[in-house]
C-alpha cells in the first residue's frame, strides 16, 4: 500500500497537531498525578454529586412501584464515540438497581457492537448482583442501524410497554425529539445526557433531567463511587482551568498581535 501524503522531513508530530498533543499529554499527566494521590490515600478535593445521577435509583424505584419497566438507550452511534462508551457505567448502575428491585430493564440500541457489549454488561451485572435468573436476553434489543427506523421501533415499544422511566445517555441525532415525545406520551420520567450540542435544546426542553456535555462523562466516571475513577474527574477539572487560561491568553495575544498571532501559529504547528 503506497503512501501518497506529503513528506514530513525531521518533524516529530504531524502538522497541525502540536496544540492537541500538548493538551492531551498534560491531561494524561494530571490524571496520573491524581491517580497516584488517590491510590496513596492523599487528600483530594470534594466532588459534588450530579442531580441526574442521584435520580437513577429513584427512576428504578418509581418503575417498581408502578409495575412498569425502565428503558435505557445509548443513542444511535457506535462504541468509537466516547459518549457511547460513557453510557456503560450508567447502564451497569441501572442494571444493578433493576436487579435489586426485580424490575425489567429494557435496553435498545442502533449498533450491533453496542448491542453485543450491552448484552454482556447487563448479563454480567445481574450475575454479580446474584440475580442471574432475572436476566432476560429479550429485554436487550438491537432494533436497526438506521436512526429513524430505530426511533420508529422505540416509539412503538413505548406505546406497548409504557416504561415508567426512560434514560437516554449517549449520542443522538434528529431522532432525539421523536424519542422524547414518545417518552412524554408514555408518561415516563426522563433523564437525558448528551454532548451533541444541537440535540441539547430538545433534551433540556422535553426531559425532566438533563446532563449537558462534560457532565455526562463526569457522571459516568463518578457513578460507581470508585475513588480511582473519581480522581480522574478532578484531573479533568484542573485541565478545564488550564484551557480557560489558554482561552484568556489567546484572546489577549490575538487582540494585541492581530492576524500574526504567534500563540495560535505555534499551537497549530
Partner 1 sequence: MRKELPIWLGTMAGAFVVATRWFTLVNATGVDRMADRLIVASYAAAAAVGFIGLTRVHLRAIDARRPLWGYSIVLLVAMYGYAGLLFFLPASAPLPSWIFLNVMGPVFSTMYGLIAFFITSAAYRAFRVRNLESGILLAAAAIALLGNSAVGGRIWHGWDGLVAWIMAVPVTGGFRAIQVGAALGALGTAVRVLLGLERSHMGSPQG
Partner 2 sequence: MTALRRLDRRWLYLGVLLITVAAAVWPLRIAPRPTRETRTAFDLAQALQPGAGVFVYVEYGLGSREEMDPMLAAVLGHLADRGAHIVIAARSPEASQVAETVMGGVAARDPAYAKGYGQTWVNLGYRPAPDVALRAATSGIAAAYNEVDYAGRPLAGMPILQALRALNRTYFALAYAFDSGDGFAPMIYYVGTPTGLPVIIGAISMEVPLLQPYLAAGQLAAVIAGARGAAEYEALAGQPRRADVLVGASAMAAIYVLAVMLLGNLVARRP
Q: What is the contact surface with partner 2 in residues (CB under 8 A)?
A: 1-6, 14-17, 77, 80, 146, 148, 173-174, 196-198
CB of 228 to partner 1, least distance (A): 5
**For residues 65 and 120, which CB has a smaller minimum distance to partner 1 in the complex?**
120
10: left (phi over 0), alpha (psi -120 to 50) or beta: alpha
CB of 157 to partner 2, least distance (A): 20
Residue 252 contacts which entry, partner 1, partner 2, none (Cβ below 5-8 A, type-dependent): none
Say if CB 155 and CB 182 are below 8 A apart.
Answer: yes
Backbone angles phi, psi at 43, to 5 degrees: -65, 135
User: CA–CA distance from 76 to each of 34, 194, 259 (Å)?
Assistant: 33, 12, 41
**For residues 58 and 82, which CB has a smaller minimum distance to partner 1 in the complex?**
82
Residue 129 contacts which entry, partner 2, partner 1, none (Cβ below 5-8 A, type-dependent): none
**For residues 24 and 257, which CB has a smaller minimum distance to partner 1 in the complex?**
24
The helix or strand, by DSSP H or E, that contains position 193, with its residue range, turns out to be strand 189-194
- Cβ within 8 Å of residue 31, ≥6 positions away: 231, 232, 235, 236
Residue 55 contacts which entry, partner 1, partner 2, none (Cβ below 5-8 A, type-dependent): none
What is the C-alpha separation between 202 and 90, in angstroms, rounded?
21
CB of 267 to partner 1, least distance (A): 14
CB of 2 to partner 2, least distance (A): 7
CB of 110 to partner 1, least distance (A): 9
Residue 6 contacts which entry, partner 2, partner 1, none (Cβ below 5-8 A, type-dependent): partner 2
* Cell, residue 45: 478535593
Say if CB 232 and CB 34 are below 8 A apart.
Answer: yes
* Cell, residue 60: 428504578
**For residues 73 and 232, which CB has a smaller minimum distance to partner 1 in the complex?**
232
**For residues 77 and 119, which CB has a smaller minimum distance to partner 2 in the complex?**
77
The full 3-state SS of 15-43, as one line of letters, equals CCCHHHHHHHHHHHHHHHHHHHHHHCCCC
CB of 180 to partner 1, least distance (A): 7
Backbone angles phi, psi at 4, to 5 degrees: -110, 5
**For residues 5 and 137, which CB has a smaller minimum distance to partner 2 in the complex?**
5
Residue 256 contacts which entry, partner 1, partner 2, none (Cβ below 5-8 A, type-dependent): none
Amino acid at each position: 500500500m503506497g503512501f501518497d501524503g506529503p513528506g514530513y522531513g525531521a518533524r516529530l508530530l504531524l502538522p497541525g497537531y502540536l496544540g492537541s498533543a500538548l493538551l492531551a499529554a498534560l491531561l494524561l499527566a494530571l490524571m496520573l498525578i491524581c491517580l497516584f494521590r488517590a491510590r496513596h490515600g492523599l487528600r483530594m478535593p470534594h466532588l459534588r454529586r450530579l442531580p441526574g445521577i442521584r435520580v437513577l435509583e429513584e427512576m428504578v424505584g418509581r418503575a417498581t412501584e408502578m409495575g412498569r419497566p425502565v428503558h435505557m438507550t445509548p443513542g444511535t452511534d457506535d462504541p468509537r464515540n466516547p459518549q457511547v462508551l460513557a453510557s456503560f457505567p450508567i447502564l451497569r448502575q441501572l442494571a444493578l438497581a433493576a436487579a435489586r428491585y426485580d424490575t425489567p430493564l429494557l435496553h435498545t440500541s442502533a449498533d450491533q457492537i453496542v448491542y453485543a457489549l450491552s448484552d454482556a454488561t447487563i448479563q454480567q451485572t445481574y450475575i454479580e448482583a446474584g440475580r442471574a435468573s432475572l436476566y432476560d436476553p429479550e429485554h436487550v434489543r438491537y432494533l436497526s442501524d438506521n436512526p429513524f427506523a430505530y426511533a420508529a421501533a422505540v416509539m412503538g415499544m413505548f406505546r406497548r410497554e409504557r416504561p415508567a422511566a426512560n434514560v437516554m445517555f449517549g449520542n443522538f441525532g434528529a431522532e432525539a425529539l421523536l424519542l422524547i415525545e414518545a417518552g412524554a406520551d408514555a408518561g415516563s420520567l426522563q433523564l437525558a445526557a448528551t454532548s451533541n450540542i444541537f440535540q441539547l435544546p430538545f433534551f433540556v426542553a422535553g426531559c425532566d433531567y438533563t446532563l449537558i456535555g462534560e457532565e455526562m462523562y463526569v457522571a459516568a466516571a463518578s457513578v460507581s463511587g470508585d475513588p480511582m475513577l473519581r480522581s480522574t474527574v478532578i484531573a479533568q477539572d484542573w485541565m478545564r482551568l488550564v484551557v480557560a487560561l489558554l482561552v484568556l491568553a489567546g484572546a489577549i495575544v490575538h487582540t494585541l498581535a492581530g492576524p500574526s498571532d504567534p500563540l495560535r501559529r505555534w499551537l497549530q504547528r
